[in-house]
Amino acid sequence: MVEIPVRVGILGCGNVGSELVKLLTRDAELIFSQTGERFSITRVAVKSKNRERPSWVDRSLLTDDADAVVSGDDVDIVVELMGGISPTRELIEKALVNGKSVVTANKALLAAVGAELAQLARSVDRDIFFEAAVAGGIPLIRSLRVSLAGERVRRVAGIVNGTTNFILSAMSESGLSYEDALALATEAGYAEADPSADVEGEDARAKAAILATVAFGRLVRFEDVYREGITHITAADIDFAKRHDYVIKLLALCEVSDKESASSDRIAVRVHPALVPADHPLALVRDSFNAVFVTGEAVGELMFYGRGAGGLPTASAVLGDLIDAAHNLRYGVTERQLDREVAMIVPMNEMSSRFYIAVDVVDQPGVLAAVAQVFGANLVSIRSMEQIGMDTEARLVFITHTAPEDSVKRTLDELRGLDSVRRVAGFIRVFDPS
């Protein structure tokens, strides 16, 4: 192997960028001995050059001119670790047009314009890699893209947001309310000052779009992914789940629509909380960890588990991409990524599952019959029912048999219209592991 260093320009030197600089400098010999690649960091763009940096960052490499990184003749590969959509998109486009391959960890950008960037990369014979954009340090994208390239993947079901998993774990294990668990997550540094992208499921939605595209080879866009967050999950929901051997998790679920035929073109992609059977491996994923369960026709069931975020784990995934991008540049090849034909998406109201439904009613004779009548009229069959008494009110908690979304939504609307129903207090889908 010829020892010509690959010149790396990095956009951003924050949590991930600074850890990447550490790996590339500290482990340079190890990387060379294992991969035959040498890397030389030539420029690192930051917003503020005066900000304090970790001791291993060579300040002479810092610039506040991001444009110089994507245009410079001394950069072969641009690693984008600054986040955001603009000017990040324009910078990546410029890097590609200038003949540089790109590595990014930016799921929001990819979910929005990943296909366009991938098309541009292809048109200029360069790569855009993004392993770290989904599930941080877990080598998931490469496994789907390379190891499982010939596999008929039927389902990808995962916990891909560490913040919400931390919150739900704290609610389940310490009996905290949603608000107290969120405060704990903020204190522990897992939740941002504005946690909405995490708790409303937007972050998981972007990751689900990327995962589905890679797993099924069809372009799934951000707006194709149905989304619900965890803000409505209550301690009572968690308590019911526990007593009935379930754990509530925020799941990203990507499936071929007809599980009997993996060749089906229609893809169902959604993010929502779900009751996961307590003995399923996903139920055992605690704290801020991520895990993704992949089901393939030939390979069967696989589980990928690890740190879904954090500077160092994420930098590890970025480093793997950097090595791939360097190899490809050296051998003059590229890999096809997100530029795929657009997927046919199954509308949410056509999907079916079992449901947990909690209804607060006035405690008087005949109410249960009236409520059950609404379920029956909409052909939603009840699998089990529990009554939790209160003084003048009672809570009726139902688990349904598998039923279509639109029937269940109609049922809820009609229940809300009954005089004896105070409110629908809980509504969560039940994950079907089969």
Ligand X SMILES: NC(=O)c1ccc[n+]([C@@H]2O[C@H](COP(=O)([O-])OP(=O)(O)OC[C@H]3O[C@@H](n4cnc5c(N)ncnc54)[C@H](OP(=O)(O)O)[C@@H]3O)[C@@H](O)[C@H]2O)c1
Residue indicated by tokens 């890999």: 335
Interface pick for ligand X out of 309, 325, 326, 357 (rule CB under 6 A): 309
CA-to-CA distance for 22 and 268, rounded, in angstroms?
40
Q: Under a CB-based contact definition with an 8 Å cutoff, are residues 324 and 187 in contact?
A: no
Interface pick for ligand X out of 101, 143, 213, 314 (rule CB under 6 A): 314
Residue indicated by tokens 């949410």: 348
Q: Beta-carbon neighbour count of residue 192 at 10 Å?
A: 12
Residue 119, class by beta-carbon neighbours within 10 Å (0-12 exposed, 13-18 middle, 19+ buried)? middle
Which stretches of 158-310 are DSSP H helices? 162-174, 178-187, 196-199, 202-216, 235-243
DSSP E strands, 194-245: 226-227
Taking the complex as a whole, the smallest distance from the CB of residue 132 to ligand X amounts, in Å, to: 5
Q: Under a CB-based contact definition with an 8 Å cutoff, are residues 399 and 354 in contact?
A: yes
CA-to-CA distance for 211 and 284, rounded, in angstroms?
22
Interface pick for ligand X out of 14, 277, 404, 433 (rule CB under 6 A): 14
DSSP E strands, 87-139: 101-104, 128-129
**Tokens found for residue 302:** 């696989």
Work out whether 83 is an interface residue with ligand X (CB under 6 A).
yes
Stretch of 82-90, 164-172, 248-256, 420-428 contacting ligand X, by CB under 6 A? 82-90
Interface pick for ligand X out of 47, 232, 383, 401 (rule CB under 6 A): 47
Taking the complex as a whole, the smallest distance from the CB of residue 320 to ligand X amounts, in Å, to: 14
207: annotated active-site residue: yes
Work out whether 51 is an interface residue with ligand X (CB under 6 A).
yes
> Given the complex with ligand X, which of 160 and 412 has the nearer CB atom?
160
> Given the complex with ligand X, which of 77 and 176 has the nearer CB atom?
77
> Given the complex with ligand X, which of 121 and 206 has the nearer CB atom?
206
Taking the complex as a whole, the smallest distance from the CB of residue 421 to ligand X amounts, in Å, to: 42
Work out whether 48 is an interface residue with ligand X (CB under 6 A).
yes
92 to 131: interface string for ligand X, x by CB under 6 A: -------------xx-------------------------
Q: Which of 100, 107, 207, 249 is catalytic?
A: 207
CA-to-CA distance for 69 and 71, rounded, in angstroms?
6
Interface pick for ligand X out of 10, 16, 210, 291 (rule CB under 6 A): 16
Q: Under a CB-based contact definition with an 8 Å cutoff, are residues 293 and 157 in contact?
A: yes
> Given the complex with ligand X, which of 196 and 384 has the nearer CB atom?
196
Give the phi and the psi of residue 77 in degrees, each rounded to 5: -130, 135
Interface pick for ligand X out of 136, 201, 229, 273 (rule CB under 6 A): 136
Work out whether 320 is an interface residue with ligand X (CB under 6 A).
no
Stretch of 164-172, 287-295, 304-312, 409-417 contacting ligand X, by CB under 6 A? 304-312
45 strand-pairing partners: 11, 63
Q: Under a CB-based contact definition with an 8 Å cutoff, are residues 266 and 256 in contact?
A: yes
**Interface contacts to ligand X, rule CB under 6 A:** 11-17, 45-48, 51, 66, 81-83, 87, 105-106, 132, 136, 309-311, 314
**What residues act catalytically?**
207
